[in-house]
Chains A and B, each alone.
Chain A
Amino acid sequence: GNSVTQMEGPVTLSEEAFLTINCTYTATGYPSLFWYVQYPGEGLQLLLKATKADDKGSNKGFEATYRKETTSFHLEKGSVQVSDSAVYFCALSDQGSARQLTFGSGTQLTVLP
Chain B
Amino acid sequence: DTAVSQTPKYLVTQMGNDKSIKCEQNLGHDTMYWYKQDSKKFLKIMFSYNNKELIINETVPNRFSPKSPDKAHLNLHINSLELGDSAVYFCASSQDTTGELFFGEGSRLTVL
Question: Mask for A59-86, Cβ within 8 A of B = 1, else 0?
Answer: 0000000000000000000000000000
**Which chain A positions have C-beta within 8 A of B41?**
38, 87, 105-106, 108
Total interface residues on B, CB under 8 Å, equals 26
Interface core residue of A44, A45, A87 (most chain B CB under 10 Å): A44
- Docked-complex contact B4 and A93, CB < 8 angstroms: no
- Docked-complex contact B97 and A96, CB < 8 angstroms: yes
For chain A, residues 73 to 113, give those with C-beta under 8 angstroms from any C-beta of chain B.
Answer: 87, 89, 93, 96-99, 101, 103, 105-106, 108
- Docked-complex contact B103 and A96, CB < 8 angstroms: no
For chain B, residues 66 to 104, give those with C-beta under 8 angstroms from any C-beta of chain A.
Answer: 90, 92, 94, 96-104
B55 interface contact, C-beta 8 A? yes
- Docked-complex contact A43 and B90, CB < 8 angstroms: yes
For chain B, residues 35 to 71, give those with C-beta under 8 angstroms from any C-beta of chain A.
Answer: 40-43, 45, 48, 50, 55-56
- Docked-complex contact A98 and B103, CB < 8 angstroms: no
Q: What is the CA–CA distance of A99 and B96 in the complex, to the nearest angstrom? A: 7
- Which of B31, B50, B94, B105 is in CB contact (< 8 Å) with A42? B105
CB of B92 to closest CB in A, whole Å: 7
- Docked-complex contact B100 and A99, CB < 8 angstroms: no
Q: What is the CA–CA distance of A45 and B97 in the complex, to the nearest angstrom? A: 17
- Which of B33, B50, B98 is in CB contact (< 8 Å) with A96? B98
Cβ-closest chain A residue relative to B93: A98
**Which chain A positions have C-beta within 8 A of B99?**
32, 34, 49, 93, 96-98, 101
